[in-house]
Structure 1
Amino acid sequence: MGISRLLSSLGLALLLSACASAPRAGLYEQFGGRPGIEALVEELLVRVLEDERIAAQFAEVDLVNLNDRLVEQICAEVGGPCEYTGRTMAESHEGLAITEADFNALVEDLVAAMDARGIPRRAQNRLLARLAPMHRDIVSP
């Protein structure tokens, strides 16, 4: 093997190894950073308010505050530079009699909003896995 061919092979190997080890965008970046999360929450709230299954439960809710807390919460859950300043999920949902069906409707709306925003399925699943433990504090026994 000639020296130029050896150098070409070595260069190709180095290039391929660099590509293989290049970091993937973090979860926060996959959600589009703060602007992407804000757009996602807006999309989610529109869907929730149009969802006959659960819209009535949001009739008396301060939507501006809900929007702000959801942005903080999702941003924090996906590793962004945000801090959630809202109440705990148990405090926020106490006495609301949220059913399993209500919870599932909201999750369906969230998935539809993420799909509409073009968030990769793997990133969606990572967020949903981080939110799933909140189920016990949201759904009434």
Structure 2
Amino acid sequence: MLIALPACQSSPNSLYQQVGEQAGLEKLVDAFINQIGKDDVVFAYFKQTNVSHFRAGFIAHMCDVLDGPCTYEGDSMAQIHTGMQINEHDFNHTVDLLIAAMSETGIAHPIQNKILARLAPMRAQIIKI
């Protein structure tokens, strides 16, 4: 007999669960924000950003992307990054900061690769140069 999970729960063994659910996701996003804050190159893209707004939006976005109990209803990646003129080097460097944050928070490399695979299709919406 199969039991359907309510829509508000994440699926068993989802990436959301594997990162530690809400607490783990918040820890990851906080580590990522700290990585950005310490980086002269990437911080330039965020210097006018409302950090608490970014944090809440990125947590919701990642929760949705990782099959958590969230539905991201914010702007698209294209809308968010319009006018930022992000080049490939800086995009890749930001990914490196995310990887560092994942390592810092104890996310295993196979899980990191799965997360990056989920985010990779958004690359074309972000790089503008």
TM range (shorter): 0.7 to 0.9
2 CA distance for matches of 1:91 and 1:79? 22
2:82 aligned with 1:94: yes
In structure 2, what is the equivalent of residue 139 of structure 1? 127
In structure 1, what is the equivalent of residue 8 of structure 2? none
1 CA distance for matches of 2:83 and 2:15? 33
Give TM-score, length-normalised by structure 2. 0.87
In structure 1, what is the equivalent of residue 5 of structure 2? none
Q: Identity of aligned pairs, percent?
A: 36
In structure 1, what is the equivalent of residue 105 of structure 2? 117
Find the residue that maps to 1:130 and give its secondary structure. helix
| Structure 2: tracts of 5 or more residues without a match | 1-11
Q: In structure 2, give the amino acid aligned to 1:111.
A: I
Give TM-score, length-normalised by structure 1. 0.80
In structure 1, what is the equivalent of residue 18 of structure 2? 30
Q: What per-residue deviation string (whole Å, max 9, x for no partner) do you get for residues 82-103 of structure 1?
A: 1112100111111110011110
In structure 2, what is the equivalent of residue 80 of structure 1? 68
In structure 2, what is the equivalent of residue 65 of structure 1? 53
Find the residue that maps to 1:40 and give its secondary structure. helix
Q: What per-residue deviation string (whole Å, max 9, x for no partner) do you get for residues 70-117 of structure 1?
A: 101111111100111210011111111001111011100000000011
Count of matched residue positions in the alignment of Structure 1 and Structure 2:
118
1 CA distance for matches of 2:65 and 2:113? 12
Question: Contact (CA 8 Å) 1:30, 1:120: kept in 2 or not?
Answer: no
Question: Contact (CA 8 Å) 2:64, 2:72: kept in 1 or not?
Answer: yes
1 CA distance for matches of 2:13 and 2:82? 37
Q: Which has the higher helix share?
A: 1
| Structure 1: tracts of 5 or more residues without a match | 1-23
2 CA distance for matches of 1:64 and 1:121? 28
The runs of at least 4 consecutive aligned structure 1 residues that moved more than 4 Å come to none
